[in-house]
Structure formats: structure tokens, C-alpha cells
Amino acid sequence: MDSIYIVISDVPPDHKNQLLVSHLETVFTAEVSLYTKSSFKVTDFMPVPTLIIIDQTKNSHEGYTVLKSLKTVSQFNLVPVLMLNTKGQKPDTVDKFWFDADGYVQWPSEIPDLTEQAQALIKKMNYEKNNKGLREKLCFLVQNELKNLFEVNNYISDLFTHTGLDNDEIVNLRLTLDEIGTNAIRHGNLNDPSKMVIIRCLLYEKYLSVTIEDQGKGFDVTGIPDPTTTGRILLPSGRGIFIARQLMDKVLFHGDGNKVEFIKELPLPLQKSSSSC
């Protein structure tokens, strides 16, 4: 039987949470377990659930602490996590950096609507794993300061070591992440600490994809000057995109230019681990 974990703040659970448990058990034919944020501890002996729901309506940091404990353990890394909050979207601000949930739902809301979004999230994650070869996923909401980018780079670099790439290529990945991330903070978000940068690192069977998105207005990609031309070669900045294009296999721009994706192909296909099943 499938299982679902719900992590809440209140003890005992309120009536709405109790109704949610009953509805999920019926729709998913699953065993639903309720935990409080203070009592929820990830262990090697916990069954891997189909879905985890975290109630973040109290607007504390506790839900994101729980999320971090899940996303940094291999067997839970690809379990879809649905965050419940009062707006049904990512937070407006973060403190330093937080791990990002896989989906957000406004709560309280109609329980069938929440269930429908949960089903869609599970379906999407299964497609990513089974059809596209997703092996690991790390996503961050980063407060718009360079020191936070450095700490996130350290987290993501641990994932780089799972790629089969040699040390020089891992250094190139770190450098590219730092260059594009710095561009997002300085030029996209204009050093505004009230804004954030979203970093998504997805490790697939045959390639690694890193996307960095800022909250700025974007820019004209075709207007990027060549930093190697006379008059620009001695400038101390303006080389981020150029470096990324030299070191990565692909550099893609999405939206208005405020979302940059770089892709590195892996030397050998990754095997499917038991935690990714």
C-alpha cells in the first residue's frame, strides 16, 4: 500500500486536517501518517512515501527545516513535496536560502482541489523519473546576496560529484553556477536584498541541468557584447555568459532572459538507484 506523510504544526490536528487525512486515504488508497514538525525525523528505516505534505500556514521557518531534512536524504530526494501556505505560491522573501518545495497549494482550501493538485504533482514527478531519467533534484530559494550563493553552490557541488565528471569539469560547473548566479544577483535583481534567486539543479540519466532565475526585468540576449573584443577585454566584468558558453554543452535563455539554463552532458549514463524507483 502507498503511504502519504502530512507534517503539521497543531497538536491535536484540527478538523480540516482530519478531513484531509480521510479524503487522501480514500482517493489514493494509501496509509496517511500525521506528524508534527517538531517530532518529524527522517531515518533510514522510514518507508518512502508517495507524497509528503507540509503545512506552512503558520509562516514560521519550521516547514522549510523539515523540507531540507527530506531533500538532503537520497531515498527522499525525489518524493514530491507539497507545501501548504496562505497564498498557494512560493514565499515572497527568504532568510539566506531555503530548499524549494515541488508544489504549493493555498490552505485552507477545498480538499478535492488540493487532492487534484497532489495527483498532478505525483504524475509529473513519475514522468520525470520514468520517461526523462531524473535521478536527483535540488532546488533553492536564495536571498539576493552573494554570500548565500556561495553556500548554495557548496550544496549543489555535492550533487556534481554524483555525475561521473572529473574534477576539472566539476570546477567548471561551480564556476559557471557562480558566474550566472552573480549576474542574477547583481544585474538581474540589482543587488536588492528583498528579492531572491531561484536555482534548480536536476540530474538526469545522461545530463545535468542547472537553471538560475532572477526577479528582474530580463534583457535582450542578442545584445550581449563579446568580452574578447578590443576595448572590452580588460574590463573587470561582462564575462559570465561567455564563460558559461565556453564551459558548458548548452546555454539556454527562457522567458525575458531572466532565466538561464546551462546543461552539461555526462560521460556515461547514470544507473537508476533504488531511491529513484
Task: Write the CATH number of the domain with boundaries 134-276.
Answer: 3.30.565.10
Homologous superfamily of domain range 2-130: Response regulator (3.40.50.2300)
Phi, psi of 72, rounded to the nearest 5 degrees: -100, 5
Determine the pLDDT at residue 259: 96
CB 44 within 8 Å of CB 65: no
Q: Return the biggest CA–CA distance within the chain.
A: 69
Which of 124, 272, 148 has the alpha carbon at shortest distance from 205? 272
Q: What is the pLDDT of residue 234?
A: 41
Span 128-134, mean pLDDT?
96
pLDDT digits (tens, 9 = 90+) for 80-91: 999 999 999 999
Q: Which of 8-12, 46-50, 273-277 has the highest mean pLDDT?
A: 46-50
Q: What angle is formed at CA 206 by the lines to CA 202 and CA 210, rounded to 5 degrees?
A: 25
In this structure, are residues 255 and 114 in contact, taking their beta carbons and an 8 Å threshold? no
The confidence band for 225, taking pLDDT boundaries of 50, 70 and 90, is: low
Domain boundaries, the chain: 2-130, 134-276
CA distances from 216 to 91, 100, 168, 249 (A): 17, 19, 32, 26
- Grid coordinates of 153: 553552490
Provide the grid cell at 277: 524507483
- Which sign, positive or negative, has the C-alpha torsion 95, 152, 125, 69? negative
Q: For residue 13, what are the CA distances in angstroms to 16, 37, 53, 68, 113?
A: 8, 12, 14, 23, 20
pLDDT value for 11: 74
Distance of CA 16 to the CA centre of its chain: 28
Average per-residue pLDDT for the chain = 90
Neighbours of 257 (CB within 10 A): 18
How high is the pLDDT of residue 235?
A: 43
